């Protein structure tokens, strides 16, 4: 493994960014100067989002490959831009790392970044590097563009609007449970048994992919536009469906009804939840890291939304005084609570529903 000190800060940046390609005409100058220079079209608005990923909080290097980490770090930012009904254009990345991180590790990380940027037509235009004594820290800022009339906020939902979700929910959380279980088993074994004991994830590949290599849903944004659908509010599901729908309702001054039987689940998610003795609906509501899109549309657009591939109508918006409730399969109503991911909680867990 090559130590970072061999290159120095600026030599390392040149080495890691030498294969980066420019995709957008709005990028006049990328990596290599004191600032990137951008020139968005005069009829466009810029969207800016930042995510900070900390080792031990947001990712575990014991089971997260650096290439996957780079890809995911980019995708979580792209997802924020798509959630505003825009398109990501530029990205800057800053890293703080300890001595145990090698040049080869960073090459893999940047390869993951490059793959994500190439797939979504995004330019990597700058960043920074620093030493760290507390583990790897990743800060990414993404700049997107959208026409002002197209931008979607969280505060536009109206009474009777339909609540829609892309993809399926809870898979990334169950992937995390699998990884954490196998890590605990791995770490508990004597060193001489480690090489002979490799976990078997056969049949669970989808759960691991959702955890380690999520996809931002550009395809859904494009499908919505092509179908002539006009969402009233939108956000991405990073902290769990329950937390996100409460954000929309609070900012829109409304209530909601979510129907348990309509929440989209993958078969592998349901099987894993049963194996871990977890309530699969609770995992879907509160697990987080799905990076699917949650949006509301007028009731008059029901037929258009129902025809969309990989989108499910899971409920509807109500008056504020009716509150936010989950309608269980047996018809009972339960208050929706924000039990999703919170970085400042001492311990994150998805509790089993009480009887």
Q: What is the CATH number of the domain that holds 45?
A: 3.30.1330.10
Q: Give which of 52, 235, 21 is closest to 142, Cα–Cα.
A: 52
Say if residue 97 is in the same domain as residue 205. no
Say if residue 113 is in the same domain as residue 178. no
Domain span at residue 85? 4-150
Rounded mean pLDDT of 145-173?
Answer: 97
Say if residue 8 is in the same domain as residue 142. yes
The per-residue pLDDT for range 28-85, each reduced to its tens digit, is 877 777 788 888 888 899 999 999 999 999 999 999 999 999 999 999 999 999 999 9
pLDDT computed for residue 13 by the predictor: 63
pLDDT computed for residue 350 by the predictor: 40
Q: How confident is the model at residue 7 (pLDDT cuts 50, 70, 90)?
A: low
Picking from 88, 123, 150, the residue at the C-terminal end of a domain is: 150
Say if residue 136 is in the same domain as residue 239. no
Say if residue 323 is in the same domain as residue 201. yes
Q: Residue 284 belongs to a domain with what CATH number?
A: 3.90.650.10
Q: Decide: residue 203, CB within 10 A, 0-12 exposed, 13-18 middle, 19+ buried.
A: exposed
More confident residue, 263 or 28: 263
20: number of Cβ within 10 Å: 17
Say if residue 143 is in the same domain as residue 251. no
Say if residue 137 is in the same domain as residue 193. no
Q: What CA–CA distance (Å, rounded) separates 327 from 55?
A: 37
Q: What CA–CA distance (Å, rounded) separates 19 from 30?
A: 12
Say if residue 82 is in the same domain as residue 128. yes
Say if residue 98 is in the same domain as residue 175. no
pLDDT computed for residue 106 by the predictor: 94
Please report where in the chains the tokens 């996957």 appear, as a residue: 68
The per-residue pLDDT for range 286-331, each reduced to its tens digit, is 999 999 999 999 999 999 999 999 999 999 999 999 999 999 999 9
Say if residue 220 is in the same domain as residue 309. yes
Q: Percent of the chain, pLDDT > 70?
A: 88
Q: Over 50: is that where the pLDDT of 195 sits? A: yes
| 295 within some domain | yes
Nearest 5°: phi and psi at 42? Answer: -65, -25
Rounded mean pLDDT of 266-283?
Answer: 97
Q: Give which of 258, 81, 255 is closest to 163, Cα–Cα.
A: 258
More confident residue, 185 or 334: 334
pLDDT computed for residue 92 by the predictor: 96
The per-residue pLDDT for range 328-352, each reduced to its tens digit, is 999 999 999 987 545 556 444 343 4
Say if residue 201 is in the same domain as residue 245. yes
Mean pLDDT of the chain: 90
Q: How confident is the model at residue 25 (pLDDT cuts 50, 70, 90)?
A: confident
| 285 within some domain | yes
Overall domain count for the chain: 2
| 343 within some domain | no
Picking from 124, 150, 176, the residue at the C-terminal end of a domain is: 150
| 156 within some domain | no
Rounded mean pLDDT of 170-194?
Answer: 86
SS3 string, the chain, reads CCCHHHCHHHHHHHHHHCCCCCCCCCEEECCCCCCCEECCCCCEEEEEEEEEEEECCCECCCCCCHHHHHHHHHHHHHHHHHHCCCEEEEEEEEEEECCCCCHHHHHHHHHHHHHHHHHHCCEEEEEEEEECCCCCEEEEEEEEEEEHHHCCCCCCCCCCCEEEEECCCCHHHHHHHHHHHHHHHHHHCCHHHHCCCCCCCCCCHHHHHHHHCCCCCHHHHHHHHHCCCCCCEEEEECCCHHHHHHHHHHHHCCEEEEEHHHCCCCHHHHHHHHHCCCCHHHHHHHCCCCCEEEEEECHHHHHHHHCCCCEEEEEEEECHHHCEEEECCCCCEEECCCCCCCCCCCCCCCCCCCC
Say if residue 166 is in the same domain as residue 144. no
Q: Percent of the chain, pLDDT > 90?
A: 74
Provide the greatest CA pair distance for the chain: 65
52: number of Cβ within 10 Å: 13
pLDDT computed for residue 10 by the predictor: 61
pLDDT computed for residue 192 by the predictor: 57
- Strand order across the 255-259 sheet: 233-237, 292-297, 162-166, 311-318, 255-259, 324-327, 333-335
| 344 within some domain | no
Please report where in the chains the tokens 């509301």 appear, as a residue: 296
What's the CA angle centered on 297, arms 296 and 298, to 5 degrees? Answer: 135
| 353 within some domain | no
Q: Over 50: is that where the pLDDT of 354 sits? A: no
The CB-side HSE value for 115 (13 A sphere, CA atoms) comes to 17
Q: What CA–CA distance (Å, rounded) separates 355 from 346?
A: 26
Rounded mean pLDDT of 115-120?
Answer: 97
| 341 within some domain | no
| 9 within some domain | yes
Q: Decide: residue 130, CB within 10 A, 0-12 exposed, 13-18 middle, 19+ buried.
A: exposed
């Amino acid at each position: 493994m090559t130590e970072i000190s061999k290159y120095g800060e600026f030599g390392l940046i040149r080495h890691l960014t030498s294969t980066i390609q420019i995709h957008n005409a709005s990028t006049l100058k990328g990596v290599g100067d004191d600032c990137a220079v951008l020139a968005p079209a005069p009829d466009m608005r810029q969207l800016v989002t930042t995510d900070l990923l900390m080792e031990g909080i947001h990712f575990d290097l014991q089971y997260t490959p650096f290439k996957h980490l780079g890809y995911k770090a980019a995708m979580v930012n792209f997802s924020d831009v798509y959630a505003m009904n825009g398109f990501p254009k530029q990205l800057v990345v800053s890293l703080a790392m300890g001595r145990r991180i090698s040049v080869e590790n960073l090459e893999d990380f940047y390869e993951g970044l490059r793959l994500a940027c190439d797939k979504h037509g995004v330019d990597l235009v700058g960043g920074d590097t620093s030493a760290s004594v507390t583990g790897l820290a990743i800060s990414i800022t993404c700049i997107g563009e959208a026409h002002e009339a197209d931008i979607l906020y969280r505060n536009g939902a109206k009474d009777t609007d339909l609540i829609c979700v892309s993809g399926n929910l809870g898979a990334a959380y169950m992937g995390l449970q699998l990884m954490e279980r196998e890590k605990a088993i791995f770490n508990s074994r004597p060193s001489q048994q480690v090489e002979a004991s490799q976990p078997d994830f056969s049949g669970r590949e989808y759960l691991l992919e959702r955890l380690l290599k999520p996809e931002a849903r550009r395809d859904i944004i494009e499908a919505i536009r092509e179908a002539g659908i006009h969402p009233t509010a939108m956000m991405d599901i990073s902290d769990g469906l329950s937390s996100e729908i409460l954000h929309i309702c609070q900012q829109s001054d409304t209530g909601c009804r979510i129907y348990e039987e309509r929440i989209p689940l993958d078969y592998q998610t349901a099987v894993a939840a049963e194996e871990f003795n977890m309530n699969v609906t609770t995992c879907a509501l509160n697990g987080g890291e799905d990076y699917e899109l949650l949006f509301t549309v007028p009731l008059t657009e029901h037929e258009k939304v129902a025809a969309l591939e990989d989108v499910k109508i899971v409920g509807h918006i109500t008056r504020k005084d009716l509150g936010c409730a989950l309608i269980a399969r047996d018809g009972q109503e339960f208050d929706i609570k924000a039990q999703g991911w919170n970085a400042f909680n001492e311990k994150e867990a998805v509790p089993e529903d009480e009887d």
